[in-house]
Structures are given as C-alpha cells and as structure tokens.
Amino acid sequence: MKDYKNSSKKQKKELEDTDILIIGGGITGLSCAYFLKDSKFKVTLLDKGKIGMGISSRTTAKVSYIQNTIYQELEKYYGIKKSKLYFDSQIEAIKIIGDIVKKLKIDCNLEKVDSFLYTNEEKNLPKIKKEMELLQGFDIKVGEVTSLPIPEIPVLKGIVVPNTYVFHPIQYLLGLWKKVKDSILYHEDVLVQDLKLQEDGTYLVSTTKGTLSSKIVIVACHYPFFIKPGFFPLFGYLKREYVQAAKIKPSYHFTAINIDSNLQSIRFYKDYLIYGSREKKLTSSYDYEAEYQKSKDEFLHYFKKEPEYSWMNQDLMMNDSLPWIGRINKNQPNLYIATGYQAWGMTNGTIAGKIIGDLIHGKENPYSELFSPLRSMKPNLIPALTNGFEYLKAYSKTYFDKNPKFQSKRVMILKINGIDCGVYIDQEGTKHIVHNLCPHLKCKLVFNPLEETWDCPCHGSRFSIDGDVLEGPATYSIKIEE
Ligand SMILES: Cc1cc2nc3c(=O)[nH]c(=O)nc-3n(C[C@H](O)[C@H](O)[C@H](O)COP(=O)(O)OP(=O)(O)OC[C@H]3O[C@@H](n4cnc5c(N)ncnc54)[C@H](O)[C@@H]3O)c2cc1C
C-alpha cells in the first residue's frame, strides 16, 4: 500500500522498495504513471536523466493514425482484422491525448490538422491506392491529392485525412508530469543497470545509486536492454533520422509524410517548418556528418533557406511492424515492456500506458493481445536474418576501419596502456578520453561530430564525450577507471 500519501517531497534521497517500478520517464513511462497514479500501489519512476528529456523530447510529435503504409503491412502479416484493431488503438490513443490535454489544461499547442501521405515515385502508386482503400474501409473520409499545401514539395499522388493532431511534445510531457508527480515517488539521474528475479517473485533492481526491490517492473526506457538480449536483430532494428527547422512564410497547418526511398516528414510549429529526412537503418551508414549535410542541403534545395535548428533522433522498428506492449516473458507475469513504436510513439506510448495500466489492474483491454510481445513473429525470419547480417557487417567494419575518414581531426582512436580508447580534443584543447568499446555487445564506437557523442553503429547506444550513457541499450558508462 502507498505509505507516502501525505509526503510533500516525492523525490527522496534514498531508493526505497516499491510495488511498481517504472524505468524511464518518456511518453511511455509518464503515460503508465498517469494510468497507475490512483491505484492502491506504491509507484516509483526512475530516469537516468531528466524526466521527459529522452527520445520523446526530440520527436516531431505528429499525433496521427496515418503512419506510412502500416495498415497494408499489418494486413499482410496478420490479416485485416488486426490491421483494423491497430487503427482503432491509434484512434483511441488520439482521443486519450485530447482528453488528457483538456482535463489537465495542458498548454501544449495541441492543434487539429489534416495529414497527407504521398509519393513521388511511380512504383509506389499502388501502395498509396491500397492504403486509401484500407482507410476508407475503416470509415475514414480520404481525399486524393496531387499536391501539398506547401508547393515547394513535389507530389505525384497522395491522400489526405482529417482529425489528426500536432503538439509540443515537451510541454505535453511536462503537463503530464506535473499531474502525476504528487502521486508517485521518483528519482532523476539514476541509471538502472540490471534486473534480477528473486526467489520471492520480486525484482532486485541495480542502479547507479544503489539497489531496490519491486514487485512489478515496467521497462519504459525505449530499449529493451538487459531484459531481452536477443532483441536485436531477431525482433527489430533501429532507424535514425535527421531533422531541420526554420521559420518560413506563410505558416501552414498540416502534416505530411512520404513513402519513398528518401523519407520526408513535414509539420509546422507556429512559424516554423520542421522537416525530417535521410531516415536510414542505423547499420547502413555511420557517416553521420555526411548524412546531416545531405539533410541540410535538401532543406536548402526545397525551401531556399538555411535551417536554424538541426537534430537527429532514432527509434526502434519492429520486423513485423507492430510495437511490443505488455508482458515479455510468460514465466514472469510482473515484468512489462513497451517499445518498438516505429517513429509513432506519441500514440503508441499513450496506448501503452492504458494497456499496461489495465493489465496491472486485472482489467480486459481490447489491444493487449494485438501488441503482446509474446505473439508469434514467425513471418519475419527473412528480416531477422537480414538484420543479423547487417549487424555483423557494422560490427566488423568498426574493428577494421579504425579511423574512418570522416572522424574529424580532433578525434583519434588509439591504444593507451593496452586499452582501445577514443580521444576527443575540444575547442580549448582539453582531451576527453573514453573506452572505445560499447559495454552492451562490445561493438567499437564511432564519433558523431554533429552532436559530439560516441555512438554505437550496431545497436544505437550513445555516450557523452566524457563517457556517460546518453541512450541505451548500454547500461554502463565508457569512462576509463582511474
Ligand atoms: C526523428 C523522429 C521523429 C519522430 N516523430 C514522431 C512523430 O511525429 N509522431 C510520433 O508519434 N512519434 C514520433 N517519433 C517516435 C517517438 O519520438 C518515440 O517512439 C517515442 O518518443 C519513444 O518514447 P519512449 O517513452 O519509449 O522513449 P523516451 O522518450 O526515450 O523515454 C525513455 C526514458 O528512459 C530513460 N532511460 C533509458 N535508459 C534508462 C535506464 N537504463 N535507466 C533509467 N532510465 C533510463 C531515458 O532517459 C528516457 O527519459 C519520432 C522518432 C524519431 C526518431
């Protein structure tokens, strides 16, 4: 039972044992906390950084049910009924977000917009047609188009649907956080490193600030890190995307994505155009600077303007196009996970909170079976083998290609006292030396000059120039011990 109801300070110094531990305070963790905050359980949330500042803070935050060609992919893998069920889950998630914003009066610029899906490649016309037919079958009013409201982007054919949204993701997350923080315990800057099932059925959780035990654990940290070692490549892979933004005139009110070989993603925030492109499998290119430059050049080409802001972000894609939400191991009913949103985490992270909340409360949820990580993923043997081959290729490349040509002059990969080290010399001439080996699966790291990080080109872990973990699946730093 909760024993902290009247405690005014929920961020306690010491970690305490708990009933439910949520690992990660992004849209998934906060949505879980929202649906569990009024339960009889003592709920604790841990984040390795600041709450709301993970991948969710760098998203383009389209809150949409039109998601590439998801409905035809799901129809192919699992049949029309499941494809429709996924559609229903996205509509429900959009409603939940709208209701939360209204109820909590969150000032996050939630705006209803039309959304476009388009192609510029002849070979993709049948896919546009098919997605249109499926959406019409789901009773959605779909229009056909041959242009976007913004004339700079050429379109061969596309469709447009109503009742989708955009919002400011950080403002939404902070609004949600403001609501839940008084009903749960939380700790920021605590990295969870390991989970062990104990004989009494509880989990012993090791962190950088000590251990705690929890009866139930929800892994909401974007990567399934230590709980599913074979996740990559058997079930999924990572995609990285580059985002550019600048003020443009006039300002528009719609979102758009294409389905072509070079992804284009468009949304607007006030006077700003936010443009995503160069989406690639992480393993296919680790010349981050070149990809970034191409994305910048594209922006300049279309909009005749230098971008004012640039960033990159990565998300987990599933081989069968369906996120993983729910229990991950049939022998461990108290271990939950939510991940693999394929760049559609605003809706899927929200529905994950509802599904996991319902499962913990013993309530039926219409989508729990659809998203269950225990589903059979047999149709995906070929993508699993392809991913495996690509991981091996990326892994070996980092061993043979020790100082890739794109590493800047201020970066070296050297052996110091027999240890492989990455050395970065900053503007002031200070050397930052780290271990050049990812603690996750021992891939060599590559320097990312765009964001000044050490990145794993195989599984996506990222580290600061001083070796702290910025993104998993790694749960240990690459600092050199004194
Ligand atoms: C370029 C790009 C654009 C996108 N655009 C959209 C869009 O328009 N619409 C949409 O719906 N989705 C979009 N997405 C997808 C969406 O951003 C993600 O799916 C979603 O934000 C993931 O949320 P999360 O809560 O799982 O992860 P996060 O937001 O990363 O939250 C996880 C949290 O866990 C913490 N954490 C990690 N490891 C540990 C650990 N070991 N111990 C403790 N804490 C830990 C992190 O610090 C973080 O705060 C986009 C993704 C990309 C890459």
- Complete DSSP assignment for 128-142: HHHHHHHHHHTT---
Structure tokens at 417: 């006292």
CA of 19 to the centre of ligand 1 (A): 24
286-295 pLDDT, tens digit per residue, is 777 788 899 9
Superfamily of domain 401-471 in CATH is Rieske [2Fe-2S] iron-sulphur domain (2.102.10.10)
- The number of C-alpha atoms within 13 Å of 330 and in the hemisphere containing its C-beta is 3
What stretch(es) of the chain map to CATH 3.30.9.10? 58-73+104-167+233-318
pLDDT tens string 321-377: 999 999 998 899 999 999 999 999 999 999 999 999 999 999 999 999 999 999 987
Q: Where in the chain is the domain with CATH 2.102.10.10?
A: 401-471
Kindly list the strands in the beta sheet with 446-448, ordered across the sheet, starting from the edge strand earlier in the chain: 446-448, 453-455, 462-463, 469-471
User: Which fold does the domain 58-73+104-167+233-318 belong to in CATH?
Assistant: D-Amino Acid Oxidase; Chain A, domain 2 (3.30.9)
What residue has token string 């939404």?
172
Distance of CA 452 to the CA centre of its chain: 20
Taking the C-alpha atoms of residue 223 and residue 316, their distance in angstroms, rounded to an integer, is 8
How far apart are alpha carbons 173 and 480 in whole angstroms?
35
pLDDT in tens, 84-114: 999 999 999 999 999 999 999 999 999 999 9
- C-alpha 343 to ligand 1 mean position (Å): 9
Tokens matching residue 106: 């969150």
**What CA–CA distance (Å, rounded) separates 283 from 261?**
16
- Residue 22 CA to residue 104 CA, distance in Å, equals 22
pTM: 0.91
Other residues' Cβ atoms within 10 Å of the Cβ of residue 87: 22
Ligand 1 pocket at CB < 6 A: 23-29, 46-49, 53-56, 59-62, 191-192, 220-222, 241, 243, 276, 313-315, 339, 341, 343-347, 349, 472, 475
Using the mean position of ligand 1's atoms as its centre, give its distance from the Cα of residue 223 in Å.
9
Supply 331's token pair.
């022998």
Shortest CA distance to 236 belongs to which of 339, 345, 104? Answer: 339
Q: What is the pLDDT of residue 281?
A: 83
Contact yes or no for 121/261 (Cβ under 8 A): yes
Reported residue count of the chain is: 482
